Amino acid sequence: MKQSANNPLNSKKERKNLYTGLAFLAPTLVIFTTFILFPVFFSFFLSFHKWNMFSANKSFIGLSNYIKLFSDPEFWRVLKHTVIYTFGTVPLNMLFALLVAIVLNQKIAGKKFLRTAFFTPVIISPVAAALIWRWIYDPNLGLLNYFTGLLGIPAINWLNDPSAAMFAIIIMGVWKTFGINMVLFSAGLQAIPDSYYEAADIDGASTWSKFRHITLPMLSPTTFFIMIMSMISSFQVFDIVYVLTSGGPLGSTKVMVFYMYEKAFKFFEMGYASAVAYIFFAILAALCLLQVKYMRTKIYEVT
């Protein structure tokens, strides 16, 4: 490639910077390109093909997969479920995580126990967690109906009721993942220098105003990270749905990745599944960009 006069790489300093950057990135780049980037592009390639994964030949079919996808009413339903799950889980998850992290940042008895308790769900293997939750939700022998029964609430078949199943999934989703965000918030809280609070104390600031004017702004890079990551991971919810309801009853908990997984590994339509993945990517990326934009204005606001 001919180098134009305004190519930034022309200057020696720029080139040196690039080399330094690449040197730091090298280990990651090697593995990343091989095991993540290549597969990601390969599945993009697949999204224009018909391939059942068993056979050696893939036939090119252009945009057919994408066209088929947009005309499948199930795709839209699945997208709706995914959005409901995400907006049901992320706020609850972050609220709990922040609350617990703040309390654990105070003087409180038995911190070690508490931290372990809140992190337990993260540690339990998903296979084991599913087993136990299926049981908790059992309509006849389950713990949940036992406790709601004590309060006089009639029994609900949590996993078999189209209006209750998504709720059951969200509860387990929050339970299983909020420990991760708690740890992240804790790390973020600890990074806030005490001197800020001491100064505020001298000014006679209330607890709320300290939270509003010190904790929240100082935490915003962490919050930003958690928000993006929670969005991505709840958009990609799969395990919980797979083991608890398998998308049922009546398809009421079928989410995007489950739909994609089903196309790939139940019906062996790998090309179609890849197309789903890319549409899904576009939606998710758009949502995240919105977040980034919103957060950026927020961060500027407080600084």
Site for other proteins in 74-133 (CB under 8 A): 96, 100, 103-104, 106, 108-110, 112-129, 131-133
- In this chain, which of 61, 84, 224, 298 binds other proteins, going by CB under 8 A? 224
CB of 34 to other proteins, least distance (A): 6
By CB under 8 A, the residues from 269 to 298 that bind other proteins are: 270, 273-274, 276-278, 280-281, 284-285, 288
Is the peptide bond preceding residue 249 cis, with omega within 30 degrees of 0?
Answer: yes
- In this chain, which of 169, 173, 245, 279 binds other proteins, going by CB under 8 A? 245
CB–CB of 104/115 below 8 Å? Answer: yes
CA angle 126, 128, 132 (to 5 degrees): 115
Torsion angle, alpha carbons of 251, 255, 259, 261, to 10 = -130
Q: Give yes or no for residue 152 binding other proteins (CB under 8 A).
A: no
211 or 267: CB nearest other proteins:
267
- In this chain, which of 1, 2, 71, 154 binds other proteins, going by CB under 8 A? 154
CB–CB of 129/121 below 8 Å? Answer: yes
CB of 51 to other proteins, least distance (A): 10
Angle separating helix axes 165-190 and 216-235, nearest 10 degrees: 140
Which letter, b or e, does each residue of 124-151 get, where b requires 16 or more Cβ atoms within 10 Å of its Cβ? eeeeebbeebbebbbeeebebbeeeeee
CB–CB of 98/226 below 8 Å? Answer: no
Backbone angles phi, psi at 250, to 5 degrees: 55, 30
- In this chain, which of 238, 291, 295, 298 binds other proteins, going by CB under 8 A? 238
By CB under 8 A, the residues from 161 to 200 that bind other proteins are: 161-162, 175, 180, 183-184, 186-187, 190-191, 193-194
88 or 277: CB nearest other proteins:
277
127 or 202: CB nearest other proteins:
127
Tokens 């030949």, located at residue:
57
Q: How far apart are CA 178 and CA 157, in angstroms?
A: 25
Question: For residue 60, what are the β-bridge partners?
Answer: 49
- In this chain, which of 60, 70, 76, 267 binds other proteins, going by CB under 8 A? 267
Using CB under 8 A, which of the segments 61-69, 85-93, 208-216, 254-262 binds other proteins? 254-262
CB of 70 to other proteins, least distance (A): 18
56 or 202: CB nearest other proteins:
56
CB of 112 to other proteins, least distance (A): 7
Interaction pattern, residues 12-51, with other proteins; x per rule: CB under 8 A: --x--xx-xxxxxxxxxxxxx-xxxxxxx-xx--x-----
List, in sequence order, the alpha helices (H) in the chain.
12-32, 38-46, 64-70, 73-104, 111-123, 126-136, 143-150, 165-190, 194-202, 207-210, 216-235, 239-244, 256-265, 270-302
CB of 242 to other proteins, least distance (A): 9
31 or 302: CB nearest other proteins:
31
